[in-house]
Structure 1
Amino acid sequence: MNLKQLEYFVRVAELGSFGKAALQLNMSQPALSRQVRLLETDLRTTLLIRNGRGVVLTEIGKRLFDHGLRVLQLVTSVAEDIEAARDEPSGRIVLGLPPSMSRRLTPLLVDTFRSEFPAASVAIVEGLSIHLVEWIAMGRIDLSLVYRPEPNPAIEITPVADEAMGLVSRATRSGAKPKSLPFARLADYPLILPERTHAMRRLIDTQAAMAGVKLNIALEISSVPSILDLVHAGYGHAVLTQTAVAASERPGAFTLSPFKDPLLTSTLCLAVSSHRPVTPLIRQTSKLLREILAHNKLL
């Protein structure tokens, strides 16, 4: 086994396709397939099962994939540490973003990253906060913005900002400015909420239990864009942040009534692994994220 073969295998496993991996690695598909077969021969086992839709990992392949990610990340970390001596962040960073932030943040982040760190590259992964935390713990992403993560010894979090949440409704023709809504009144509205694994749902459920409010849950939908589509279609109301509404394709089609008595806020945090060293590139990207959020008023 050598590092190149390991890298080829990991890329194929990540993308689930020899063709996609060959394009990313800038090599021919037969050459890539040959290198992976050599790795399988060296290890005397089958790592990938090829089918009409691409490839899937065998059980041993899954184990090698996890080990391979850590090995390649360690090699990258060594290279970044050496490059850091030249005072220029370099290497590759995988950044996770929640859906409510991804659409608004990604274009600006990519442009600023390329300008600030020309010797580095960034890959952006979108996912729910609960999944992003898992991926950090597994080493699949390096840094992430997450909402209210639960305590986890595998990650370190730094609060970035608190954002008020409110009742999201379909806008009326009157155009009247929405007023604050007592949290207890939430029981009066049919709600379209994410499933219980979603960070915002856990926050809403906790606050409702503390306030003795029985929620009227009409639908459970994990996708925020789909929730907003259903609100617009008249199926009910949502509980979201202004950022989530602003990220939709038609933010003017909704109103948001912030809660009072008590306020309900969602905390956005930066999360990194507690078991891996924080490289100069991770540290500089964290700083860049905070600056972009603050200067462009994305919260």
Structure 2
Amino acid sequence: MQHPKATSIQLDVTASLQKWRAFLAIGELGSLTRAALFLNSNQSLLSRQLNALERECGTRLFVRTGRGVELSDVGQRIFPQVRALLADAEQLENEIREQARDASGRVTLGTLPSIGHHLVGQLFTEVRARYPGVNLKVLEGSSGQVEEWLADARVDIGILYRYGGTLPEHEQCLATVDSYLIGPAGDRLTAQEEVPFRSLHELPFILPSAPNGLRTALDSMARQEHITLAPVIEADSLPLQASLVARERLYTVLPLHAVWTEVGKGEVQAARIVDPPFQRTVALVFAKTKGPAKAVSAIAGLIGEIVDRMARDGMWRTDR
């Protein structure tokens, strides 16, 4: 027998369970006043919620009497089902919270320095507050190193940049990141808000050495756009790239969050690359052999929350 897919389930009237909790309280107590006290609400608000619920259902759920309210015929028929639905929802919520409370063990995160610099401090604070039984270990390295750690299960979760339009099925998109041309303070080119990709032609660059995901993607797009990238020095160190851009008046290509602090201090400038844009995806990847499942899932959830907060600050974009 073929079972329907979960995505085929359609919810409308039952999409919000809170209104049905109000229905249950009113039905059990027989009074809007007593139900409002029980729910720590007020009678006027509860009355409006009840009227809205009856409009959505297209029928009366209660009959008003001189002593309060009574369930209508329809209300009586659905009352046991609503009670069972809410009981199941309460059990699910309790189980979810219990799972979270039980999260424990060591979770190892492999990340790139440009992401870890902003992420790890907030992640540590959240883990200590919400999952005290979880011990967080963080490894920073290049994309190639993080890939190796994932393959060898030395890390449970990896955070990587991916270039191109799609991700493998087992990877989760955390954010979409624009690339910026980074230049020294006072530089006329990077004083603009945006620069076309072709303006990178023969600039004095400091870039990571190949093999490197950024370098490979940059060189590929440069060939497509028929321009020449001219690194005068190669360095994989992010602090060194930012330092030499500022001191030696070089250029590099980085996401804005990688030089967020330096741009804020006015040490370097950043202009978004357009025409065509040069974008990357921040991807979360699980090792095939993961550590303690509850703890790994909990940490992955926290990373998603923190990334969303960073997006609201303008560091990158998310679709969640």
**Deviation at residue 196 of structure 1 after TM alignment:** 1.2
**Deviation at residue 145 of structure 1 after TM alignment:** 1.0
Residue 293 of structure 2 corresponds to residue 287 of structure 1: no
Q: Is the 8 A contact 2:103 2:131 kept in 1?
A: yes
The whole-number CA distance in structure 1 between the counterparts of 2:261 and 2:212 is 18
Aligned to 2:198: 184
Deviation per residue, 1:127-151 (Å, 9 max, x gap):
112111110111111102111179x
Q: Is the 8 A contact 2:262 2:268 kept in 1?
A: no
Aligned to 1:139: 153
Deviation per residue, 1:145-168 (Å, 9 max, x gap):
111179xxx994212111110210
The whole-number CA distance in structure 1 between the counterparts of 2:144 and 2:229 is 23
Q: Residues 233 and 104 of structure 1: is their aligned pair in 2 closer, same or farther, counting only changes over 3 Å?
A: same
Aligned to 1:215: 229
Residue 107 of structure 2 corresponds to residue 93 of structure 1: yes
The whole-number CA distance in structure 2 between the counterparts of 1:200 and 1:247 is 21
- Residue type matched to 2:233 in 1? L
Q: Residues 193 and 215 of structure 1: is their aligned pair in 2 closer, same or farther, counting only changes over 3 Å?
A: same
Q: Is the 8 A contact 1:245 1:251 kept in 2?
A: no
- Residue type matched to 1:97 in 2? T
The whole-number CA distance in structure 2 between the counterparts of 1:278 and 1:92 is 7
SS where residue 296 of structure 2 aligns? Answer: helix
**Deviation at residue 188 of structure 1 after TM alignment:** 3.8
The whole-number CA distance in structure 2 between the counterparts of 1:267 and 1:167 is 17
SS where residue 105 of structure 1 aligns? Answer: helix
**Deviation at residue 250 of structure 1 after TM alignment:** 6.9
**Deviation at residue 235 of structure 1 after TM alignment:** 4.7
- Residue type matched to 1:236 in 2? L
- Residue type matched to 1:186 in 2? L
- Residue type matched to 1:185 in 2? S
Query: Which one of 203, 207, 210 corresponds to residue 217 of structure 2?
Result: 203
Residue 184 of structure 2 corresponds to residue 170 of structure 1: yes
Query: Which one of 225, 243, 253 corresponds to residue 239 of structure 1?
Result: 253
The whole-number CA distance in structure 2 between the counterparts of 1:165 and 1:121 is 34
SS where residue 136 of structure 1 aligns? Answer: helix
The whole-number CA distance in structure 1 between the counterparts of 2:300 and 2:152 is 19
Q: Residues 250 and 177 of structure 1: is their aligned pair in 2 closer, same or farther, counting only changes over 3 Å?
A: closer
Residue 117 of structure 2 corresponds to residue 117 of structure 1: no
Deviation per residue, 1:73-97 (Å, 9 max, x gap):
xxxxxxxxxxx86852111101112
Aligned to 2:282: 268
Q: Is the 8 A contact 1:156 1:274 kept in 2?
A: no
The whole-number CA distance in structure 2 between the counterparts of 1:249 and 1:136 is 32
SS where residue 106 of structure 2 aligns? Answer: strand
SS where residue 192 of structure 2 aligns? Answer: coil
Deviation per residue, 1:193-222 (Å, 9 max, x gap):
001122211221121122222211211111
How many residues end up aligned between the 2 structures? 213
Bigger Rg, which one? 2
Q: Is the 8 A contact 1:191 1:218 kept in 2?
A: yes
SS where residue 108 of structure 2 aligns? Answer: strand
- Residue type matched to 2:113 in 1? P
- Residue type matched to 1:108 in 2? Q
Q: Is the 8 A contact 2:198 2:227 kept in 1?
A: yes
**Deviation at residue 269 of structure 1 after TM alignment:** 0.4
SS where residue 93 of structure 1 aligns? Answer: strand
Q: Is the 8 A contact 2:110 2:159 kept in 1?
A: yes
Structure 1 runs (4+) greater than 4 angstroms displaced: 84-87, 247-251, 275-278
**Deviation at residue 179 of structure 1 after TM alignment:** 2.9
TM-score in terms of structure 2 length: 0.61
Aligned to 2:162: 148
- Residue type matched to 1:259 in 2? I
The whole-number CA distance in structure 1 between the counterparts of 2:296 and 2:159 is 13
| Root-mean-square deviation over aligned CA pairs | 2.8
TM-score in terms of structure 1 length: 0.65
The whole-number CA distance in structure 1 between the counterparts of 2:114 and 2:196 is 25
Q: Residues 86 and 146 of structure 1: is their aligned pair in 2 closer, same or farther, counting only changes over 3 Å?
A: closer
Q: Residues 143 and 226 of structure 1: is their aligned pair in 2 closer, same or farther, counting only changes over 3 Å?
A: same
